[in-house]
């Protein structure tokens, strides 16, 4: 066979190999131009590619959450976000929450919408929030009452610790103990004396059975040996009209909510219900100074998310909220009585847990049982 014929045969064999009519197994004789070796390598590569495809298919479900998390943080949010608020409209909680929601909407390019669901010491809103998908599109705006929730069980279909992730503790504010103008007391000592002379006749307003104002009232009456009747509203803001009308007589209120009415002469302030005096009322002593040691109506606001919300999204939200408190207009609108904090998820969780332990000790030490 001349050289030209050998070249044609070799080319024909290679063409057959490419079209699948020739394989290493049926090649006999000498290896024509290394065809057998090339086919072995091709078969090996096919097996490697096939195996890799199987592995990828097996790992895909496990990798999906990680990939979604990374992509979700980058693209988040790509639709409106709901902030579930277990309080009534117009409360200081609602007002401050809307300031942050408006800024988040501007900064992240999607609407952050406040969805108010008041009632039952946050029970209505929290039960609803716990059932929402943990994708970052359902958040919760909460207050210091959150630290009481582990101590309550009535109508609760969620675990306040396990079913929610902390995002940011945004602020803390001063509080005032206020009374109706018709009540003949001007300080804490006079209130204690009047309550002892009229057991059960004074009405202490709360934002709900078992709420922070209720527990603060139990603390006060236990520490002072007095007896008052608790009147529960859907939110503490709803109690102010009744306080001004003397249908209720005493309530611990946030400075933001109560001070304008005090200033207008509609109600009377008898003590700062925090551990330090407030610059806006420098001559008004604290309850501790007036004989009720350590008495404090703790009031803070923060954001939660349903448990297992992607960490990257939680961190992104915290970062945005931390930027918002640096805006001068925000501080101006909230006033000097509000201390802006923007504490992160871990520190927020620690503070809430510490307060829960404090309230639990208070209940145990004073043999107080919250009504179911």
pLDDT digits (tens, 9 = 90+) for 280-314: 889 999 999 999 998 988 789 999 999 999 999 99
**Does some domain include residue 64?**
no
Q: Are residues 193 and 268 in the same domain?
A: yes
Reported as type and span, the H/E element at residue 131 is none
For 56-112, how does the pLDDT look when each residue is reduced to its tens digit (9 = 90+)?
A: 444 444 444 444 444 457 899 999 999 999 988 877 788 899 999 999 999 999 999
Q: Are residues 190 and 256 in the same domain?
A: yes
Q: Are residues 106 and 142 in the same domain?
A: yes
**Does some domain include residue 72?**
no
Q: Are 191 and 250 in contact (CB under 8 A)?
A: yes
Q: Are residues 215 and 150 in the same domain?
A: no
SS3 173: strand
Give the whole-angstrom CA distance, residue 2 versus residue 216: 108
Listed residues 227, 253, 272: the one ending a domain = 272
Residue 30's Cβ-count burial label (10 Å; 0-12, 13-18, 19+) is: exposed
Listed residues 272, 288, 317: the one ending a domain = 272
Instruction: Give the CATH number, domain containing residue 124.
Output: 3.40.190.150
**Does some domain include residue 15?**
no
Domains contained in the chain, number = 2
Q: Are residues 163 and 222 in the same domain?
A: no
Domain of 212, in residue numbers: 175-272
Q: Are residues 308 and 220 in the same domain?
A: no
**Does some domain include residue 245?**
yes
Q: Among 1-10, 223-232, 317-326, where is mean pLDDT lowest?
A: 1-10
Q: Are residues 185 and 334 in the same domain?
A: no
**Does some domain include residue 344?**
yes
pTM, full prediction: 0.67
Buried (b) or exposed (e) across 44-76, using 16+ Cβ within 10 A? eeeeeeeeeeeeeeeeeeeeeeeeebeebbeeb
Concatenated DSSP letters of 348-370:
HHHHHHHHHHHHHHHHHHTT---
- Pick from 330, 353, 316, 300: nearest CA to 100: 330
CB proximity list for 82: less than 8 A, separation 6 or greater: 113, 115, 132, 137, 138, 139
């Amino acid at each position: 066979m001349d050289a030209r014929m050998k070249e044609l045969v070799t080319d024909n064999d290679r063409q057959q190999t490419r079209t699948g009519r020739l394989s290493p197994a049926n090649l006999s004789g000498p290896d024509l131009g290394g065809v057998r070796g090339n086919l072995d390598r091709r078969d090996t590569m096919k097996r490697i590619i096939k195996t890799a495809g199987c592995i990828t298919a097996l790992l895909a479900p496990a990798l999906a959450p990680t990939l979604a998390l990374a992509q979700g943080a980058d693209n988040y949010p790509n639709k409106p976000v709901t902030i579930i608020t277990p309080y009534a409209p117009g409360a200081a909680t609602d007002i401050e929450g809307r300031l942050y929601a408006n800024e988040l909407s501007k900064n992240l390019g999607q609407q952050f919408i406040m969805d108010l669901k008041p009632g039952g010491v946050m029970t209505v809103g929290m039960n609803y929030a716990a059932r929402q998908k943990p994708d970052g599109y359902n958040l919760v705006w909460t207050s210091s009452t959150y630290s009481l929730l582990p101590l309550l069980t009535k109508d609760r279909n969620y675990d306040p610790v396990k079913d929610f992730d902390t995002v940011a503790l945004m602020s803390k504010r001063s509080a005032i103990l206020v009374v109706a103008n018709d009540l003949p007391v001007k300080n804490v000592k006079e209130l204690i004396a009047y309550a002892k002379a009229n057991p059960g006749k004074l009405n202490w307003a709360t934002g709900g059975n078992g709420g922070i104002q209720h527990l603060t009232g139990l603390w006060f009456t236990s520490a002072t040996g007095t007896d008052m009747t608790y009147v529960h509203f859907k939110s503490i803001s709803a109690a102010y009209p009744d306080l001004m009308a003397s249908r209720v007589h005493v309530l611990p209120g946030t400075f933001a909510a109560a001070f304008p009415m005090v200033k207008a002469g509609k109600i009377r302030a008898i003590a700062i219900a925090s551990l330090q005096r407030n610059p806006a009322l420098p001559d008004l002593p604290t309850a501790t100074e007036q004989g009720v040691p350590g008495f404090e109506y703790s009031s803070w606001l923060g954001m939660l998310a349903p448990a297992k919300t992607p960490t990257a999204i939680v961190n992104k939200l915290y970062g945005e909220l931390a930027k918002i408190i640096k805006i001068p207009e925000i501080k101006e609108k909230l006033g000097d009585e509000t201390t802006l904090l923007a504490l992160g998820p871990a520190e927020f969780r620690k503070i809430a847990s510490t307060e829960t332990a404090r309230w639990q000790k208070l209940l145990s030490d004073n043999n107080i049982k919250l009504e179911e």
